[in-house]
Structure 1
Amino acid sequence: MTSIGGAEMVDWNLAVATATRLVRPGPEVSRDEAREVVAELRRHAKASEEHVRAFTRMIPDGHEPEDTPVLVVDRAGWVKANVAGFRELLSPLLEKMRERRSGTPGGAVLGAVGGKVTGVELGMLLSFLASRVLGQYETFAPASRELPAGATGGGRLLLVAPNIVHVERELDVDPHDFRLWVCLHEETHRTQFAGVPWLRDHLRNEIQSFLAATDMDPVTVLERLREAAQALAGARPEGERDEDGRSLVELVQTPEQREVLGRLTAVMSLLEGHADFVMDGVGPQVVPSVAEIREKFQQRRQRGASRLDLALRKLLGLDAKLRQYRDGERFVSAVVQQVGMDGFNRVWTSPNTLPTKAEIASPADWVARVHRKSE
């Protein structure tokens, strides 16, 4: 890993240790119940493949894409997997920082101290998220003995068993139906990347472009952080408004990053909205209580768990994540209504047929652009 004088720019081991120490314990379950939950999630993940492929028609009959493993993990396992993913994605940025700092007096000391501080901060963030994520398709997943991944450099499906059990109890829904419903959403993500071979590289390139545009000038970064803190505290000058209600993450970006983020937001809205559309589309056939689950789950998404939860969601930009589900599902639903599932699937033809951020909000514009020639 990138280091200066032996000191990592991010102390990844400290991040894992901090997160696992701070993360809240999961729900109480007996050993036998835990084994049954794990076994059922694996069965549902396998069954979801056929349901999702039949509904989406993204993978032709007789075609078997690269298999990616399904891992049922606890909260600590989710933390370890995500730290590994961060190391993979952030290595170019950290190398850039290393080169810039290596010529600075005291750079090695700053690297050692900064790595510890960043490790603790990352661990605190992951401890907050680790109790909330139900499942995750890891697109950029480096394989390890503890965490296997796809054979050609990416892909594993994580199902976080304690969180699934916690939410099904909180919502008071049928646990077997809820577990299958969650698996349908996550399996859709696995199908998206299995059925669209160019999608992983496209996302990686966009993320690397975002990181490459990072402003490395500390003075500029501090100035942006000051402005962000003022905005979030309501201390803007009189008459100056934050029309978008942007998060801390968005406020410290460069103009180049915001341009890339617009494209990434559109893609993520598509992927998340498509997964929600599929899970609800397949649901009535195989999940008897899907209507009750969806209603209760939407209410939970909107209200958050507490005032602190709502504040952290705003600060970290997680409210934008919730909008991606809503706006993306509306886009997919509208397009399927206009041109059918096969017409919608033209979205996966190439990066040029992906919707823009504006088209996510106006599906008819995407239909006009992509289907104009054939019409």
Structure 2
Amino acid sequence: MESSARETSAPALINWELAASTAARLAPAGPTLGAAEIATAVENLRLMADISVQHVHDITGLEAARDLRDSSVLVVDRASWAKANTQSFAVMLEPAINKMLEDRRGAIAPGTANVSGAITGSQLGAILAFLSSKVLGQYDPFSALARDSTAPAGGRLLLVAPNIIAVERELNVEPADFRLWVCLHEQTHRVQFAAAPWLRHHMLDEIANLSGHLLGNVDSLMERASAAAKSLKDRTATGATPGRGVILDLLQDPEEKAALSRLTALMSLLEGHANVVMDAVDAGIVPSVKTIRQRFNDRGTDRGLIEKFIRSLLGLDAKMRQYADGSKFVREVVAAAGMSGFNRVWESAEHLPTEPEIHDSKLWLERMGL
């Protein structure tokens, strides 16, 4: 007979299907396009994704770029992006949820879990609905690990067509140039994971470790969440700097903070590297790249109150600062050791920089003997 932990399954604690359907229902409408326009945009995005691979190879020097398959590039709408992320979240959180259920065997009734799952699923869906109109593209390394997934073993690249089109119209830039510019960033992430086949499971282990700490302290989680929400409300009311975000405020235990530090360093490295690749792109690759950069960077200065609140909740502004630190790390290492020296980060998990090393590249260079 199966245990209570098995009866109260991971999907019951978070209703992933409800999260996906809620996101699809709440996602803002995208730009109006005719059938022919949609078909043309999808074809062009696929073309730009394919063209960008060689440029990424030339800039990074990573041979893994040569083996990328077009089949793992998906041009999606907002609802499909949200559904894909619920699948990845399920993969990332399942180990921690199952461990929590095993540790609390018999303490969570199936009925209670289902109600909790519906609430959590709805909340996650609302967050995904907000993000679904903001994300231009995303490399999903965990899709191949999802149940019943038909994704290629190397993960999949998602290009959110309505968002890309909306932004290129908003900025009044050349569509083909902007699409290539976006694809260069996202294809860099594909190359990173292709160059480091161990990275997918390493990242999954780190996420499971962090979420395991959070869920393992579930008895104090609601109390900490309440205090963090009050802090956010106070900061918003007074106009204070948002800080790290409510989600990060939940972390108090030293082990939780250490787990977050490792993930922060990894994400800073991945995004910083992708940003450096984009910055290496000149007019010979994207003719209007200077205009795109200027207008794209300027668009973030005029956000509404609700968007600012949600960004504060998720800590997205803090996240952008971390990515800037990652870019600085990559540039300094390349300047000191060349691209081949920097590419040692993809050889093993032991070569990944720590958070202190992200902030002081000399520490990493010394550890690597460069």
Question: Which TM-score applies when normalising by structure 2?
Answer: 0.90
Task: Tell me the secondary structure at the aligned position of residue 137 of structure 1.
Answer: strand
Q: What is the match of residue 138 of structure 1?
A: 140
Are 1:287 and 2:290 matched, yes or no?
no
Q: What is the match of residue 238 of structure 1?
A: none
Q: What is the match of residue 364 of structure 1?
A: 362
Q: What is the match of residue 121 of structure 2?
A: 119
* Structure 1 position 320, deviation (Å): 2.4
Residues 252-331 of structure 1 aligned to structure 2 (within 5 Å): 252-253=250-251, 254-301=253-300, 303=301, 305-331=303-329
Query: How far apart, CA to CA, are the structure 2 residues paired with 1:336 and 1:145?
Result: 39
Question: Larger deviation: 333-342 or 82-91?
Answer: 333-342
Task: Tell me the secondary structure at the aligned position of residue 25 of structure 1.
Answer: coil
Structure 1 residues 141 and 283 mapped into 2: Cα distance closer, same or farther (>3 Å)?
Answer: farther
Structure 1 residues 256 and 6 mapped into 2: Cα distance closer, same or farther (>3 Å)?
Answer: closer
Out of 145, 149, 168, the position equivalent to 2:151 is 149
* Structure 1 position 97, deviation (Å): 3.5
Task: Tell me the secondary structure at the aligned position of residue 132 of structure 1.
Answer: coil
Aligned residue pairs, count: 361
Structure 1 residues 5 and 311 mapped into 2: Cα distance closer, same or farther (>3 Å)?
Answer: closer
* Structure 1 position 304, deviation (Å): 5.4
Return the letter of the residue paired with 1:233.
Answer: K
Q: What is the match of residue 98 of structure 1?
A: 101
Out of 41, 44, 49, the position equivalent to 1:40 is 44
Query: How far apart, CA to CA, are the structure 2 residues paired with 1:265 and 1:6?
Result: 26
Question: Larger deviation: 3-12 or 84-93?
Answer: 3-12
Return the letter of the residue paired with 2:62.
Answer: M
Residues 125-274 of structure 1 aligned to structure 2 (within 5 Å): 125-142=127-144, 148-151=150-153, 154-234=154-234, 245-253=243-251, 254-274=253-273
Unaligned residue ranges in structure 2 (runs of 5+): none
Question: Larger deviation: 310-319 or 87-96?
Answer: 87-96
Task: Tell me the secondary structure at the aligned position of residue 284 of structure 1.
Answer: coil
Return the letter of the residue paired with 2:261.
Answer: G
Give the conservation status (yes or no) of the 8 Å contact 1:273–1:328: yes
* Structure 1 position 161, deviation (Å): 0.3
Out of 68, 73, 86, the position equivalent to 1:83 is 86
Task: Tell me the secondary structure at the aligned position of residue 303 of structure 2.
Answer: coil
Structure 1 residues 144 and 335 mapped into 2: Cα distance closer, same or farther (>3 Å)?
Answer: closer
* Structure 1 position 6, deviation (Å): 11
Return the letter of the residue paired with 1:329.
Answer: S
Q: What is the match of residue 15 of structure 1?
A: 19
Query: How far apart, CA to CA, are the structure 2 residues paired with 1:127 and 1:286?
Result: 34
Render the CA deviation track for 1:179-210: whole Å, top value 9, x for unaligned.
Answer: 00000000000011111122112111211211
Give the conservation status (yes or no) of the 8 Å contact 2:242–2:312: no
Give the conservation status (yes or no) of the 8 Å contact 2:100–2:212: no
* Structure 1 position 7, deviation (Å): 7.9
Task: Tell me the secondary structure at the aligned position of residue 122 of structure 1.
Answer: helix
Question: Larger deviation: 92-101 or 254-263?
Answer: 92-101
Structure 1 residues 44 and 65 mapped into 2: Cα distance closer, same or farther (>3 Å)?
Answer: closer
Task: Tell me the secondary structure at the aligned position of residue 173 of structure 2.
Answer: coil
Query: How far apart, CA to CA, are the structure 2 residues paired with 1:271 and 1:84?
Result: 22
